[in-house]
Structure formats: structure tokens, C-alpha cells
Chains A and B, each alone.
Chain A
């Protein structure tokens, strides 16, 4: 079984400030890691994913995340946010095994609110 914990339900931040959204996971098997963003009235969109290799992953819109296996974390960061980054952010994991459904297990989400 897998679980994902996003400790911060809401993160308020001023425009051009840096931000970190935290994600921790628990799994008995190796996993892939994802961050999705959900803008109001839109579907989920992939920001970035970690499959293997370098633990620092760069995604769209200037976001990046770092996989830390010992801390089972995959925190999302952006050095300077914009008003347009206001959205709900979801961390997710899926089983690495071949022949599996690769279904996503999501956290409860973090609402990023960017203000002037």
C-alpha cells in the first residue's frame, strides 16, 4: 500500500517570493513520483516527474523538485512565483512494477495562493 502526505493544505506567498510545497510518501515498493497542478475549472496537468537518475527534476513553468530517498520526500520548489501560479498542487506516486496498473495515489493537495 502507498500513501502520500502533503502537510500544508494552504501556502500563501507574495509574488516573486520563493516557495516550497512539501510532499512525503510511504510505500512498501519502489515508486515513481509526480507533481500535478490543477487550475480552477481545469483538469490536472503534469508539472514534473521522477522516474530515475538525477534526484533534481525540472518541470514546466520554472518548477523543480528533489527526490530524497532517505527522507521519502519529493518537495516542489520555485525560486520566484507569479500570480498565475495560484492553483492546487498534488503530489502523487505510482508503483514501479511492470504489469501493474500504475495507478496514481495522490496527496490531499496544497493550495498555493500568490498575492501582490
Chain B
């Protein structure tokens, strides 16, 4: 199966620690998205890459959050100095270039901040 993969699937950390998540998109997809989903809510957009360029960031993405997509392949999302409010499911999605194309989602990384 060559779908979107995310690693790790679960992460438990203590408040104040840094965490990094990885997303491997479908190989031919040039668009990559990060979303965050909290309990009882729909996913909320965090940031978007087209190839290696980060083209849009949500106001939800505080300066403790940083995302990269070196060489336009996999992407990483780092959260520095985690807070309990960062506890959520972090979802990655990829799609081919045109608007309206389906976004294919990975299984997510569930973050718990103690």
C-alpha cells in the first residue's frame, strides 16, 4: 500500500518537551497539508506545502510550531515547548496539483501532553 504514512502513531510527552512528527505523502503528490483534530471537532487546517515551499500557515500555528518539507518529499511538524492544549490528533494529507482533487489522509499521530 502506497498511501500516506505518519510516524509515530502515538506520542506521549511531558509539558515543555519538544516533539517531531513525520509524514510521508503519496510519492507523486506535490501538495501536502497538516491538520489538527481535537476530540469532538473536525480537522482544522494548520499549514500547506506545494513541493518544498510552505505557502500558507493558519493563525492556529503559533511560533512554537514549525513545519518543513525538504526536497518536496516527506514533511516534519515540530512542536517546541509543548503545552497541554497541544494534545490532539495531527493529520497529514497529500494531493496532486489541481484544486478540487481529493486529499488523501494518513492515519494521524495522536499527541498526549501530560
Q: Which residues of A contact B (CB under 8 A)?
A: 4, 9, 32, 34, 36, 41-46, 49, 51, 90, 92, 94-98, 100-109
**Cα–Cα, bound, A98→B45 (Å):** 18
Report the minimum CB–CB distance from A7 to chain B (whole Å).
Answer: 14
| Interface-centre pick from B43, B100, B107, B108 (highest chain A CB count, 10 A) | B100
Query: Of A43, A95, A102, which one neighbours B108 at CB under 8 angstroms?
Result: A43
CB distance from B1 to the nearest CB of A (A): 12
How many residues of chain B get a CB closer than 8 Å to chain A's CBs? 27
Report the bound CA distance from A32 to B95 in whole Å.
15
**B interface, CB within 8 angstroms of A:** 3-4, 31, 33, 35, 40-45, 48, 55-56, 91, 93, 95, 99-108
Q: Are B107 and A92 in contact (CB under 8 A)?
A: no
Distance between Cα atoms of A90 and B43 in the complex (Å): 9
Q: Closest CB of chain B to A26's CB: distance in Å?
A: 15
Cβ distance A53 to chain B, nearest Cβ, rounded Å: 12
Do B48 and A94 touch (CB < 8 A)? no
Q: Which of B4, B48, B101 contacts A101 (CB 8 A)?
A: B48
Q: Are B105 and A45 in contact (CB under 8 A)?
A: yes
B56-A103 in contact (CB<8A):
yes
Interface centre among B33, B48, B99 (most CB of A within 10 A): B99
Q: Are A107 and B4 in contact (CB under 8 A)?
A: no
Question: CB-CB < 8 A to A107: which residues of B?
Answer: 42
- A102's partner among B3, B4, B35, B100 (CB-CB below 8 A) is B100
Question: Cα distance A36–B102 when bound, in Å?
Answer: 10
- Given A90-B42, A102-B95, A102-B99, A43 contacting B106 (CB threshold 8 A): yes
